[in-house]
Structure 1
């Protein structure tokens, strides 16, 4: 790994340690399994995934990539965690998931290799784990075709999100392993919007994601104070 790679070795090690548990719905990755149908339906509601060339940036063990492939997309998942990618590949083989492939490559490197190659790019729960999120946003712009969609999800940075996403989720409810998120790396919606505008992406729908610890249920809402999702598009030249 070169020093210029936009990745935190400690973050990669953290998720590599848990990689073998990625597809266990009762493991530390239970929240990802629970929110995945919400994310998938939201994306599919913005743009039909059938027959689309889709890239999932920071795919981890492949939970979203696998689900998008089952919606009819031709999916490439990329990540820099070797162990997580092996888990994703093994799951695709065992589940016989069609039209999904995985590569160990950064978004920036792939953007230089394959600019304007994808109809849809997703980057979910990943920006808050890299040193330079704006660089990833720029790479996503480069990777998507003109007129194509880029979808992000991440964590807001404010006292409420600190209380809910770190104190609550990691320490009290133990939904996530301690240390999963660092408060300083969380990204305000205004900051993500700025990264998108600077990259050249047009802003679309924003949705929040909420959680009720009593019913253990997640749902999408207008409240973006903790988890939120943002839809963007790369404009077509001349429009």
Structure 2
């Protein structure tokens, strides 16, 4: 079954083993908790406010971004293929009484066939570099969003600088992430992502880079897309 899905069994197992730590802000997922306000603010300001929007969050994991968008007044569906991750997200939503958020264990491609053009916003953050066919996820995101709706991606650039900072630095020197979290060859150049977006009839509107200072432990958005970067696109 898994071999037929756009998913790497080893990647699913890796994140499933850590699923119980999704909502521990001092765990391996600390960087996601730290960058979440930045990406949430950028998405919210780009679309002119998330309140009242219908959103699907592809690769939601334990629901960190899904939960935050729901608290902004959106109606959010978080989807993932990690059973344990989805259960953690559902449990957190119950415990935190998060309004208007639901979670499903379903592939983006399957949901796109089931609910085409039903969402105002689609997000897919820190997920494309973990699947065998990222271009298929881009196509699914484009199918899920309404004409004129917004699609957001974030991923890692592929170049020597990103290898040094995102893998050697983050995983081996600073120990911010478990070793083996990322595979360099799965990183995605902005030109590659732009090409997939054009092929899916998504018009690129904006790109931002995310930077980190290991001494102050502060993240910020900038115009430097050499390592982590975010993309905003609209459905034509």
- Helix, strand or coil at the partner of 1:65: helix
Q: State the match for 1:27 in structure 2.
A: 27
CA contact 2:167–2:182 (8 Å) conserved in 1: yes
TM-score normalised by the chain length of structure 1:
0.98
The aligned counterpart of 2:78 is 77
1:105 maps onto 2:106 in alignment = yes
Q: Deviations over 1:29-77 (max 9, x none)?
A: 0000000000000000111110100000000000000000000000000
CA contact (8 A) 2:154 2:228 kept: yes
**Which consecutive residues of structure 1, in runs of 5 or more, have no partner in the other structure?**
none
Is the 8 Å Cα contact of residues 158 and 227 (structure 2) preserved in structure 1?
yes
1:186 paired residue number: 187
- State the 1:3 CA deviation: 2.4
Separation (CA, whole Å) in 1 of partners of 2:98 and 2:58: 18
Deviation at 1:2, TM superposition (A): 4.2
- Matched with 1:217 is 218
**Aligned pairs, number:** 235
Q: Which runs of 4+ in 1 moved over 4 A?
A: none
User: How far apart in 2 are the matches of 1:144 and 1:50?
Assistant: 17
* Root-mean-square deviation (Å): 0.5
- How far apart, CA to CA, are the structure 1 residues paired with 2:180 and 2:167? 8
1:142 corresponding residue in structure 2: 143
CA distance in 1, matches of 2:2, 2:73: 36
Residues 156 and 189, structure 2, Cα contact 8 Å, conserved in 1: yes
1:8-47 paired onto structure 2 within 5 Å? 8-47=8-47
TM-score by length of 2: 0.99
